[in-house]
Each structure stands twice: as C-alpha cells, then as structure tokens.
Amino acid sequence: MLDVDTKAERIVKEYIAGETVYTLVLKDALPETCLRQVQAMCRLLYPAHTNIDYFPTNFILQGDTLYYIDYECNDYMDEWNFENWGCKYWAKTPEFLQYAAEHP
C-alpha cells in the first residue's frame, strides 16, 4: 500500500505482477513455499488479533515471494483463520472445486 485516504475510502496500491495463488492451484503449480509463507504471516497476525482474507485470489506469487494484495483485515476469529477457512481454498479441495465450477 502506497497511500490511504480513510475519509474518502481510497487506497493506492502498487501493482504486483505475478500469478494468484488461485491460478496456481488451478494449474496444480502452487509451490510449497507459498504455504510456508502464509503460515509465517499467520504467526504474526494471530498474536496481533488480526485475520486477513485468506482467499487465494488475494495473494500473488512474484518470484519466490508471496504478497497479500487485498486490504481486508478483521478482528481475529478462529472460524475465519487460515487453518479453519483459508486452507480450504489453497488446494483442489471440494470447496475450491465448487467455487471454480461456479466462477469459470
């Protein structure tokens, strides 16, 4: 994020080139390093009582670095953490496949 104007509800973000985790999962090409990096993010976020939106379209892999490109963050709730919700969409699980079928 480069700048934010909360009054006008605007965010200026830098474009990050790369493929989303969603696309990589579709292609069976998600590197294991992505899971390690999102888990490292969780180790910082959970003690700060924060959840982010772990849906895979919100993450870009550029080179070997995983970037969270969404702006959403919420108070921590177990129900919405990576282990209980997000990880369901980081592999070809039934939830992921259903979403992919409904959003071609």
pLDDT category at 104 given cuts 50, 70, 90 is confident
Beta strands 3-5 and 10-12 are antiparallel
| pLDDT digits 0-9 by tens, 82-91 | 999 999 999 9
Q: What beta strand segments (E) does the chain contain?
A: 3-5, 10-12, 19-20, 50-52, 59-62, 65-68, 73-75
| pLDDT digits 0-9 by tens, 13-63 | 889 999 999 999 999 999 999 999 999 999 999 999 999 999 999 999 999
pTM metric for this prediction: 0.89
Q: Where are the domains of the chain?
A: 19-95
Q: Which helix (H) or strand (E) holds 23?
A: helix 21-26
